[in-house]
Chains A and B, each alone.
Chain A
Amino acid sequence: MDYQLDFTPVIDGLPDLLLGCLGTFLLAICGMLLAIVIGIGGVILRTSPYKAARWAMIGFVEVIRNTPFLVQIFFLYFALPLAGLRLDPTPTAIIALGINGGAYAIEIIRGGVQSISKGQMEAGLALGLHKAQVFRFIILKPALRAIFPSLTSQFVLLTLTSSVASAISAYELTAVSQRIESDSFRSFEVYFTVTAFYLVISWLMMRLFAFFSARYFAYPVK
């Protein structure tokens, strides 16, 4: 084995890679916001009295959960222009991530909503709390507390999944690294470094979420 590791192209490409990280953050944050919107809307439909709406949501969730993200993003990439939406790869990737994350969010949020029993609300009203107070302290906060761990680990997963968006050449870290790789042929060095970047990104996200959880959802200790 006479291969010499050479990280020079990686070091030269560092500014590009950092910009790529920003691209990944953009994809992840926009994808998450869209996923939350789809998740909440989906739960409303999923628990609505209309049978058709409920079944449509069940079908949507199962289709998304049982097909690969890569196939979903390809499908969307070709389907959106046919539907009259001509978008760049990056917005397309955001929509795909939002739809994918949204399907998982529906299931997670539904679990949280169902974890609040009706008696809790009645008890709150009986204690003389205002309706808004009941919603805020007795419905919303415990529900958020219940779903926070699974929702945030889903978000970390969504961020990692965003690397697949490079397949439709959206602007993010993996796409940038593929360009540097094809310019320099230092494949291992480039991908090894970028893997470390992703590790730092997901670690930071987990720390941030853990901080939020401790700050807002910890039970008061006497």
Chain B
Amino acid sequence: MGTDEFVFLLTGLKWTVILSAIAFVCGCLGGLAVALARTSGIKLLERATAAYIGVFQGTPLLMQLFVVYYGLALVGFKIDAWVAVATGLTLHASAYLGEIWRGSIEAVPRGQTEAAKALSLKYVSRMRDVILPQALRVSLPATIGFLVQLIKGTSLASIVGFTELTRAGNMISNQIFQPLTVFGIVGLMYFLLCCPLTIFGAHLERRFAASAR
């Protein structure tokens, strides 16, 4: 494998990182909305978000990408593969992050809400200043764990036809007929991307466990 091929893989890696970042940032916004709706106390909203989470956790990511990709084309959006994939991954991330954060919002002791109400804080301030800071702290290890899952999930974008790291690896491997070398390097690149995050997440988890004792 020559320098050109390696540089091509690096370009793929760049797109994997960009795609992961977009999906994670947009997924965080969506996830926050889902988590807030899921714990809003409004029956209809809670049911709807529960169904949303259930559907996305009960179907393969690959199928979600397919449905979004062809579904968006169907309703008349002429879009690039990468926009479709980013949309699909965002919807996916919103569901998972929404469920993670719902759990951590519910894990904040009830007394906190009651105290905030007694201080006559309105909903926005109650959530922003009292509940969410505590909830997000608790949820950090799981959130990072999901980020790793999301980075790995971007590899499925290759099946839809977006050239990120895995597809770049596929193309190179078809070109130079050294699949083991190519996919070994591709795997290593994913590993170098994900492993620090995994270690950081485990570190946070241990620290929180220690401070909770």
Chain A interface (Cβ < 8 Å from any Cβ of B)? 1, 3, 62-63, 65-72, 74-75, 77-79, 82, 156, 160-164, 166-167, 174, 187-188, 191-192, 194-195, 198-199, 202-203
User: Can you list 30 contacts pairing A with B, beta carbon distance less than 8 Å?
Assistant: A62-B195, A63-B187, A65-B194, A66-B148, A66-B191, A66-B194, A67-B191, A67-B194, A68-B155, A69-B155, A70-B158, A70-B159, A71-B166, A71-B169, A71-B186, A71-B187, A74-B169, A74-B183, A75-B180, A82-B180, A160-B58, A162-B60, A174-B60, A188-B73, A191-B66, A195-B59, A195-B66, A198-B59, A198-B63, A199-B59
How long is the Cα–Cα vector from A1 to B77 in the complex, in angstroms? 10
Q: Which residues of A contact B55 (CB under 8 A)?
A: 199
When the two chains form their complex, are residues A191 and B67 in contact, meaning their CB atoms are under 8 A apart? yes
Chain B interface (Cβ < 8 Å from any Cβ of A)? 55, 57-64, 66-67, 70-71, 73-76, 148, 152-156, 158-159, 166, 169-170, 173, 179-180, 183-184, 186-187, 190-191, 194-195, 198
Q: Which residues of B contact A174 (CB under 8 A)?
A: 60, 62-63
Chain B residue at smallest Cβ distance from A63: B191
Q: A71-B166, A202-B58 are in contact. Are A66 and B66 (CB under 8 A)?
A: no
When the two chains form their complex, are residues B74 and A65 in contact, meaning their CB atoms are under 8 A apart? no
Task: Name the 6 nearest CB pairs between A and B, nearest first.
Answer: A68-B155, A78-B179, A163-B60, A66-B194, A187-B70, A68-B152
A208 to B: closest C-beta gap in Å: 14
Known: A160-B59, A187-B66, A188-B67. 8 other contacts (CB 8 A): A70-B166, A74-B169, A75-B184, A163-B60, A164-B156, A166-B159, A191-B70, A195-B59
How long is the Cα–Cα vector from A167 to B73 in the complex, in angstroms? 23
A193 to B: closest C-beta gap in Å: 10
Chain A residue at smallest Cβ distance from B159: A167
Q: Which residues of B contact A195 (CB under 8 A)?
A: 59, 63-64, 66-67
When the two chains form their complex, are residues A74 and B170 in contact, meaning their CB atoms are under 8 A apart? yes
Chain B residue at smallest Cβ distance from A164: B62
When the two chains form their complex, are residues B60 and A65 in contact, meaning their CB atoms are under 8 A apart? no
Q: Which residues of A contact B153 (CB under 8 A)?
A: 68
Q: Which residues of A contact B170 (CB under 8 A)?
A: 74
A206 to B: closest C-beta gap in Å: 8
Q: Which residues of B contact A82 (CB under 8 A)?
A: 180
Chain A residue at smallest Cβ distance from B63: A195
Query: What DSSP secondary structure best describes chain B's contact surface?
Result: helix
Q: Which residues of A contact B180 (CB under 8 A)?
A: 75, 78-79, 82
Chain A residue at smallest Cβ distance from B151: A68
Q: Which of B66, B158, B180 has the most CB of A within 10 A?
A: B66
Chain A residue at smallest Cβ distance from B71: A188
When the two chains form their complex, are residues A3 and B58 in contact, meaning their CB atoms are under 8 A apart? no
A135 to B: closest C-beta gap in Å: 29
Q: Which residues of A contact B64 (CB under 8 A)?
A: 195
Q: Which residues of B contact A78 (CB under 8 A)?
A: 173, 179-180, 183
Q: Which of A174, A187, A188 has the most CB of B within 10 A?
A: A188
Q: A70-B155, A191-B66 are in contact. Are A198 and B184 (CB under 8 A)?
A: no
| Of B60, B74, B166, the contact of A68 (CB 8 Å cutoff) | B166
Q: Which residues of A contact B59 (CB under 8 A)?
A: 160, 195, 198-199, 202
How long is the Cα–Cα vector from A75 to B181 in the complex, in angstroms? 9
When the two chains form their complex, are residues A160 and B60 in contact, meaning their CB atoms are under 8 A apart? yes
A89 to B: closest C-beta gap in Å: 15
When the two chains form their complex, are residues A192 and B67 in contact, meaning their CB atoms are under 8 A apart? yes
Chain B residue at smallest Cβ distance from A2: B76
When the two chains form their complex, are residues A191 and B183 in contact, meaning their CB atoms are under 8 A apart? no
Q: A63-B191, A66-B198, A191-B63 are in contact. Are A74 and B70 (CB under 8 A)?
A: no
